[in-house]
Amino acid sequence: MAAGDPAETFRQEAQELIEQLEHSLLDLEQTPTDRDLVDSAFRALHTIKGSGAMFGFEAMAAFTHHVESAFDQVRKGKLQPSPSLVGLALEAQDIIRAMILEPDCDLADRQKTVLDQLAQLVGSAADAAGQEAKASAPASQPAQKQRWRITFSLARDAMVMGINALLLLDELRSLGHCTVTALTDAVPPLAEIDAESSYLRWDVVLTTDAPRSAIDDVFIFVQDDANLSITAIDLSTEGRLGEILVDRGEVPRRVVEEMVASRPPLGELLVEAGQVAPEAVKSALAEQKHLIRDQADSAKEAKAASSIRVPAERLDELMDRVGELVIVQARLKQQANSNGDPLIKAVAEEMERLTSELRDTTMSIRMVPIGSLFSRFRRLVHDLSRDLGKKVSLVTTGEETELDKTVIERLNDPLVHLIRNSIDHGVEGTAERLAAGKTGEGEVRLEAYHSGAQVVISVKDDGRGLDRVRIQAKAEENGLIPPGAKLPDDELFQMIFQPGFSTAKEVTNVSGRGVGMDVVKRGIESLRGTVDIGPRSGGGTEVTVRLPLTLAIIDGLLVRIGHGRYVIPLPTVEECVELSLADDARSSGRSFLNIRGELVPFIRLRDLFASPLPADPYQKVVIVSLGECRVGLVVDQVIGDHQTVIKSLSKLHSNIKAFSGATILGDGSVALILDIEHLIEWAQEQTDVAMLEAGE
Amino acid sequence: MSKNILSVDDSASIRQMVKMTLSAAGYGVVEACDGADALGKAKSSPVNMVVTDLNMPNMDGLSLIRELRKLPEYRGVPIIFLTTESDDEKKKEAKAAGATGWITKPFKQDQLLAVVKKVIG
């Protein structure tokens, strides 16, 4: 349906409904016992009222309500559709029509007459006339932090009914600091579990300044059968386990006091003594943690500004150490898995969790907002525009976007080049701009934002844009493309990044002699990033730089192909599926896979890497995504996730584009890290070559 | 992938309003004008959520909810119904039939969006 004004649609619809109502009423006069006619009349009134109230016909809706109520009585058999009722309804229908089509005319007297007569017929049914909705809830109290204890379990069939407990918990989390404990005591043994049933009970402690009604709203659809209890907790509670249990009514205070007198830890003692269920202690302990966090938070708020300065080398050193630790942890994990001792395994798992947290913390220490870099460019833009005699303003957004400190430092030169190019080549002089109908002042925009595991930085200008003809001529002159070659825009524009490429008619001292863009590209690629150039929608040029969040350690997916093991960066991985024998047989070389109705091309890495071993009987496909496109990588085995410390390849191997580096595995062997984007390009070239050879 | 929502109402103006609101928020909207129409569309192309009126010709909302819940692919799919007054009887009946939640008419665009976000995130 074309988008339009719903009120207009309603007006047309209401006329049809009124006609339907009239037919039903007239027929009803003839056959008063026909229930279908009563239903039809009721439905018409009901829809007129319901829709009317939504599109600005409140008075009409209120009036229709009384007529509808009368017909509801008829529907329920409490009132007969007598000729006088039908007559009244017809009169009411005329009023409704007038109220919709001529909203300005005064119908109060006619309305009153109809309503009075209806009231006589229906009795109390129309008594509600003129009754207004109660005054809205009392003015909200000033926001004050309150701590709530919320316990709920869902009806067994809640999941079937479309209730998602995760969404409920997310909604609670959006209200404030939230500690959630899942209580599993009602979960039956695995053999008896019905996967569609809901067995868990949740204990949530929430500290929020939202009113109680906001919490009630979260549970509005489940409150009837959710076994929900919401109680306020005294904010002054010190957070001792015993007090929490007493406060929850799990155990009398006397018992706790006696126990405390004997010996800690209290929780275990209480459970051993059979006074409290283990689940109750678990939940109370979670609440205790919440209280302690709350107190720490308020202490933190008190001295939020305090920070210390550390020499950057120490951070680099720390990152190196963490890297080594991650490698050792991988060895420990390997040993634990082959050894089979559950105790060692437990330690190894704990160790893995801690190193992963340590890694994240260390990385977050190294993160610096990009605003510090952006602010340097103000002066640059000011000086450049003065030197070139152009008026240019710099607009920056996303200054708070964080990037690794090293990345930010090494980003300075490429960005300086890009901004210089924009001002020198992109933005026109004032006179030219005015002639083109633009404002006299040009604009360069620097934007930074997160996109998945990448940070995107774009430099946009509103200048004359990219000159296709000149770029083509220059590329032909430099021998990059054969004369007269027809390239798609995006491929042609990529020529700009070739060494020695400059289309500036005269060389200025600002943007040099075409040693700009290839340096930019190399600089960005050394940071494992990519750079693209293209026209900006609405005129001008846009350069987009994509960078990984960090350089040192990534989460990877470890896979095996033949004897070799390889790491696929986890952020690019979408899913893993099995390559069915049918799919395998159907295809040779590069082929396609049907993933839920979508065709996804796949690459056989064992062919690409020329692995001599025969393929595993059940090969796996790792689906990776690169921006818009998805590609499957066929491997022999998916081993699992792996914290990958990136070691760069030696200079000797720097021209191998398909690998971005290597890492050391737990057993001391080396795994190569796949550079997905270049790998796909390489595979494409290989296929093209193979096809050419086959064709000849 | 964007989520698809089936909007069932015999009132074209309500359907139009629902479609405008949800499309603007990035959802795909499939429209049906009564229960029977909705059931056919729901079977031929499964959706992630259903918003239905209760009072409709050719199979009312309650029967639609019951029929949908009988289909294996609609177990667990949120079904929201529109109800004119906050009629507790109707609410109970619809919940018992398998509805997830409700929106009270008249509603504003942001109220509709709030409920949709609440049940499908």
DSSP string, A408-446: HHHHHHHHHHHHHHIIIIISPPHHHHHHTTS-SSEEEEE
Higher pLDDT, A123 or B4: B4
Considering only CB atoms, which chain B residues are within 8 Å of A167?
118-121
- Is pLDDT of B50 > 90? yes
Contact A61 B118 (CB under 8 A): no
Contact (Cβ atoms closer than 8 angstroms) between residue A75 and residue A38: yes
Question: Nearest residue of B to residue A58 by CA position?
Answer: B106
A160–B118 C-beta distance less than 8 A: no
Contact residues, chain A, for B14 at CB < 8 Å = 6, 50-51, 54
Beta bridge partners of residue A146, listed in sequence order: A208
DSSP-assigned letters across all residues of A289-321: HHHHHHHHHHHHHHTTT------HHHHHHHHHH
Pairing of strands B79-83, B49-53: parallel
Q: What CATH number has the domain spanning A371-548?
A: 3.30.565.10
Which chain A residues touch B95 with a CB distance below 8 Å? 161, 224
> CATH number of the domain that B30 lies in?
3.40.50.2300
At B30, is the pLDDT very low, low, confident or very high (cuts 50, 70, 90)? very high
Residues in A closer than 8 angstroms to B78, CB to CB, are 162-164
**Residues B12, A110: Cα–Cα separation, whole Å:** 29
pLDDT score, position A4: 65
Do residue A51 and residue B11 have CB atoms under 8 angstroms apart?
A: yes
**Residues of A with CB below 8 A from B105's CB?**
50, 53-54
Considering CB atoms only, which of A12, A159, A171 is closest to B76?
Answer: A159
Q: Which of residues 7-36 of B touch A (CB under 8 A)?
A: 10-17, 19-20, 31
For residue A55, which residues of chain B lie inside 8 Å, CB to CB? 13, 17
CB spacing of B76 vs A224 below 8 angstroms: no
Q: What is the CATH number of domain A6-126?
A: 1.20.120.160
The pLDDT tens digits for A226-250 are 788 888 887 665 567 777 777 777 7
DSSP letter for A67, please: H
Q: Does B84 touch chain A (CB under 8 A)?
A: yes
B118: nearest CA in chain A?
A167
pLDDT of residue A128: 40
CB A67 within 8 A of CB A129: no
| Pairwise CB contact (< 8 Å): B121 & A1 | no
In a mutagenesis test of the A interface, which of B1, B5, B16 is the best target, namely the one with the most A β-carbons within 10 Å?
B16
Q: Kindly list the residues from chain A whose CB atom is less than 8 angstroms away from the CB atom of residue B10.
A: 43, 47
What does the pLDDT read at residue A559? Answer: 94
Residue A311 has pLDDT above 60, yes or no: yes
Contact A9 B107 (CB under 8 A): no
Interchain CB distance below 8 Å, B100 and A161: yes
CB contact under 8 A, A61 and B76: no
Q: Which two tokens stand for residue A568?
A: 């696929």
Q: How far apart are CA A419 and CA A417, in angstroms?
A: 6
Q: Do B107 and A3 touch (CB under 8 A)?
A: no
Nearest residue, CB atoms, B13 vs list A9, A160, A220: A9
**Domain A553-695 belongs to what architecture?**
Roll (2.30)
Which residue from B minimizes the CA distance to A61? B106
Give the pLDDT confidence score for residue B85 in this predicted structure: 64
A266/A288 Cα distance (integer angstroms): 13
Task: Please tell me which residue of chain B has the smallest CA distance to A17.
Answer: B11
Q: How far B22 CA sits from the closest chain A CA (Å)? A: 12
pLDDT at A20: 85
Is A590's pLDDT higher than 80?
no
State the ipTM, two decimals: 0.87
Question: Which residues of chain A have a CB within 8 Å of the CB of B118?
Answer: 167, 171, 221
Give the burial string for A490-509 (b: 16+ CB within 10 Å, else e): eebbbbbbeeebbbbeeeee
> Which of A12, A15, A49, A54 is the best substitution to test chain B (most B C-beta atoms within 10 A)?
A54
Q: Show the domain range for B22.
A: 4-120
By C-alpha distance, the chain A residue nearest B79 is A162
Q: Residue A69's closest chain B neighbor by CA?
A: B85
Distance from the A222 Cα atom to the nearest Cα atom in chain B, whole angstroms: 8
pLDDT tier, B5 (very low <50, low <70, confident <90, very high otherwise): very high
Average pLDDT over residues B13-30: 89
At residue A494 the predicted structure's pLDDT band, cuts being 50, 70 and 90, is confident
Do B121 and A164 lie within an 8 Å CB cutoff? Answer: yes
Question: B67 in contact with A at a CB cutoff of 8 Å?
Answer: no
**Tens digit of each residue's pLDDT (9 = 90 or more) over A187-220:** 888 888 888 888 988 989 888 888 888 888 888 8
Residue A38 CA to residue A32 CA, distance in Å, equals: 9
Q: Render pLDDT for A39-78 as a digit per residue (tens, 0 to 9).
A: 888 888 888 887 887 887 888 888 888 888 888 888 877 8
Read off the DSSP letter of residue B3.
Answer: P
3-state DSSP call for residue A649? coil
Name which of A42, A46, A76 to mutate to probe chain B: the one with the most chain B Cβ atoms within 10 A of its Cβ.
A46
For A161-173, write each residue's pLDDT tens digit.
888 888 899 999 8
Residues in A touching B92 (Cβ below 8 Å)? 224
* Distance between B39 CA and the closest CA of chain A, angstroms: 17
Mark yes or no for CB contact B55/A43 under 8 Å: yes
Which of these ranges, A286-295, A427-436, A459-468, A559-568, has the smallest mean pLDDT? A286-295
**Does A13 contact B11 at a Cβ distance shorter than 8 Å?**
yes
Cβ pair A40:B57 closer than 8 A: yes
Chain A residue with Cα closest to B78: A162
Please tell me the distance from the alpha carbon of residue B36 to that of residue B47, in angstroms, as a whole number: 16
Average pLDDT score, chain A: 81
Residue A484 structure tokens: 């007269």
Smallest Cβ–Cβ distance between A50 and the set B49, B101, B105 belongs to: B105
Question: Between chains, do B107 and A46 touch, taking CB under 8 Å as contact?
Answer: no
Residue of A nearest to B15 (CA): A6
Is the pLDDT reported for residue B48 higher than 50?
yes
**Mean of pLDDT values over A254-261:** 74
Which regions of A91-217 does DSSP assign to beta strands (E)? 146-153, 176-183, 201-208
pLDDT class for A37, splitting at 50, 70, 90?
A: confident
Q: How many A/B residue pairs have CB atoms within 8 Å?
A: 97
Give the Å distances, CA to CA, from A132 to A45, A61, A551, B87, B105: 21, 13, 65, 17, 17
* Mean pLDDT value across residues B102-109: 85
The amino acid at B70: K
Q: Is residue B106 less than 8 Å (CB to CB) from chain A? A: yes
Q: How far is CA A614 from CA A588, A609, A638, in A?
A: 15, 13, 17
**Cα of A532 to nearest chain B Cα, Å:** 26
B68: nearest CA in chain A?
A: A161
Closest CA to A178 of A287, A295, A296: A287
